[in-house]
Chains A and B, each alone.
Chain A
């Protein structure tokens, strides 16, 4: 009896939260609609309705899905390679000082370069379609690598001493001590990489004229003064990145174990 009321209550509070969020979203859309009406020029600021209409029109064309699909592939490809390599090389960098010393200047140099320079430089060397992926990797990898190295270094020395005393196998020290310690750092790197990856990929698509792509659709909408489509594409980017973020968070939560990210108990 008590448990069921508790569940009902928690469900109610969830519904309330969702309603609250919808309310806030509604408020901002309303503000946008009012501003559009006040500006009264779809060329400068299209209304929410017009933007939505644009999305529907775009969705009537098969190319629309190709553009989104290819851009998504670039984002995922770049992020996936960054996180996978960042994890492996970050573990190596955290465990091995000379390797860290070799990697560190490379990573710091990339980090300090302006994104635009990286895009234009890379475009000199490789095919346009691949530029966004490579640039996404170059921007996301240093973040992941640095995070993972930090995770390795923050691994509890006391647990490592324990493992040494009891002759725990090296592979298990990695899988059972280092990796769980690194996990919160890797997760935050992944979320960072996804957020960054979107922005970098779309920017690189525009600057490198990568086709097919969301970026070039944005660019064409701008040069043909189709401001409503510019807004439509932007809306699509926002929705895609929100959906991907939620899916990622859901997958992470599903794979969590009880003691994950906990400090060792004393």
Chain B
């Protein structure tokens, strides 16, 4: 199902972020969002994910049990290894029953080019490697919707390009509805199939582009 946002209204204090806001994100496509800083892009992802509640209006087509979210930071537990971080996604009972998850984890780590770091701690990895673990986590989790909040912004140019290629490779194998937020137009053009350009708050859609 597509994600349908209708008559969305959200404010923080006196600041109106969304007012009578309508938007459709198509199913199994990568939608990109471009927009100025402080416009409300992260707020929109938080509303879609259920971390924030709208003041009024509706967001339809989202199963809250079935969302992956790549945050602006990797958000890994520093006191757990990479493998243990990924193991968090599985229920304790099912881990005991079948070792199948371990091979899923290994496979996904290989896919993001981190075949040999499963037993390292996050602080033993570079920033780019941590972000890849976050990407692995997002794909390992069986979700219909993938939210991404500037996941590449802290990375250097060549690493970013490699990650974007990796990302597209994984996505081709496992097509999900993706909402991808970025400041960077090149990045968005490399990844997205539909691009929305946001105005400053209250958010208006200045442009919708289908590639």
CB pair B51 A264 closer than 8 Å: no
One digit per residue, 1 when the CB lies within 8 angstroms of any chain B CB and 0 when it does not, for chain A 4-39 equals: 000000000000000000000000000000000000
> Chain B: how many interface residues by the 8 Å CB criterion?
27
Given the known interface contacts A166-B141, A168-B88, A265-B130, the answer about A259 and B51 at a Cβ–Cβ threshold of 8 Å is no
Given the known interface contacts A168-B89, A265-B122, the answer about A180 and B77 at a Cβ–Cβ threshold of 8 Å is yes
Residues of A contacting B141 in the complex (Cβ-Cβ under 8 angstroms):
166
Chain B 114-144 residues near chain A, CB threshold 8 A? 121-124, 130, 137, 141
**Whole-angstrom CA separation of A177 from B68 in the bound complex:** 19
Asked if B157 is an interface residue, CB under 8 A from chain A, the answer is no
Asked if B173 is an interface residue, CB under 8 A from chain A, the answer is no
The listed residue (B49, B80, B122, B123) touching A176 by CB distance below 8 A is B80
The listed residue (B77, B89, B92, B122) touching A171 by CB distance below 8 A is B92
Look across to chain A and name the residue whose beta carbon is closest to the beta carbon of B147: A165
Chain B 156-211 residues near chain A, CB threshold 8 A? none
Look across to chain A and name the residue whose beta carbon is closest to the beta carbon of B91: A169
Please report whether the interface of chain B is mostly helix, strand, loop or mixed according to DSSP: loop
Residues of A contacting B137 in the complex (Cβ-Cβ under 8 angstroms):
166
Given the known interface contacts A158-B73, A258-B121, A259-B121, the answer about A165 and B79 at a Cβ–Cβ threshold of 8 Å is no
Look across to chain A and name the residue whose beta carbon is closest to the beta carbon of B51: A161
Residues of A contacting B8 in the complex (Cβ-Cβ under 8 angstroms):
none
Asked if A266 is an interface residue, CB under 8 A from chain B, the answer is yes
Asked if A172 is an interface residue, CB under 8 A from chain B, the answer is yes
* Chain A: minimal CB distance from B133 (Å): 11
Asked if A63 is an interface residue, CB under 8 A from chain B, the answer is no
* Chain B: minimal CB distance from A172 (Å): 6
CB pair A165 B122 closer than 8 Å: no
Residues of B contacting A261 in the complex (Cβ-Cβ under 8 angstroms):
79
Asked if A257 is an interface residue, CB under 8 A from chain B, the answer is yes
Chain A 145-177 residues near chain B, CB threshold 8 A? 158-159, 161-169, 171-172, 176-177
Asked if A53 is an interface residue, CB under 8 A from chain B, the answer is no
Residues of A contacting B88 in the complex (Cβ-Cβ under 8 angstroms):
163, 166, 168, 172, 176
**Whole-angstrom CA separation of A163 from B73 in the bound complex:** 14
Residues of A contacting B68 in the complex (Cβ-Cβ under 8 angstroms):
165-166
Residues of A contacting B78 in the complex (Cβ-Cβ under 8 angstroms):
259, 262-265
Residues of A contacting B65 in the complex (Cβ-Cβ under 8 angstroms):
167
**Whole-angstrom CA separation of A174 from B123 in the bound complex:** 22
Residues of A contacting B7 in the complex (Cβ-Cβ under 8 angstroms):
none
CB pair B130 A165 closer than 8 Å: no
CB pair B75 A264 closer than 8 Å: yes
**Whole-angstrom CA separation of A169 from B75 in the bound complex:** 17
CB pair B69 A259 closer than 8 Å: no
Chain A 217-266 residues near chain B, CB threshold 8 A? 257-266
Asked if B76 is an interface residue, CB under 8 A from chain A, the answer is yes
Given the known interface contacts A165-B49, A165-B51, A265-B122, the answer about A176 and B89 at a Cβ–Cβ threshold of 8 Å is no
Residues of A contacting B130 in the complex (Cβ-Cβ under 8 angstroms):
265
Given the known interface contacts A166-B88, A166-B141, A266-B74, the answer about A260 and B69 at a Cβ–Cβ threshold of 8 Å is no
**Whole-angstrom CA separation of A169 from B77 in the bound complex:** 15
* Chain A: minimal CB distance from B127 (Å): 8
* Chain A: minimal CB distance from B104 (Å): 14
Residues of B contacting A258 in the complex (Cβ-Cβ under 8 angstroms):
79, 121, 123-124
**Whole-angstrom CA separation of A259 from B141 in the bound complex:** 24
CB pair A264 B77 closer than 8 Å: yes
* Chain A: minimal CB distance from B151 (Å): 12
Residues of B contacting A171 in the complex (Cβ-Cβ under 8 angstroms):
92
Residues of A contacting B9 in the complex (Cβ-Cβ under 8 angstroms):
none
* Chain B: minimal CB distance from A72 (Å): 33
Asked if B67 is an interface residue, CB under 8 A from chain A, the answer is yes
Given the known interface contacts A165-B69, A166-B141, the answer about A262 and B49 at a Cβ–Cβ threshold of 8 Å is no
* Chain A: minimal CB distance from B205 (Å): 26
CB pair A169 B51 closer than 8 Å: no
CB pair B77 A259 closer than 8 Å: yes
CB pair B71 A158 closer than 8 Å: yes
* Chain A: minimal CB distance from B89 (Å): 5
List 10 contacting pairs A-B, 8 Å CB cutoff, sorted by A: A158-B71, A159-B75, A163-B88, A165-B49, A166-B141, A172-B88, A180-B79, A258-B124, A261-B79, A265-B123
Could you list which residues of chain B lie within 8 angstroms of chain A, going by C-beta atoms?
A: 49, 51, 65, 67-69, 71, 73-80, 84, 88-89, 91-92, 121-124, 130, 137, 141
Can you name 10 extra interface pairs (CB under 8 A) apart from A158-B75, A265-B122?
A161-B51, A165-B51, A169-B91, A172-B88, A176-B80, A180-B77, A258-B124, A259-B80, A262-B123, A265-B78
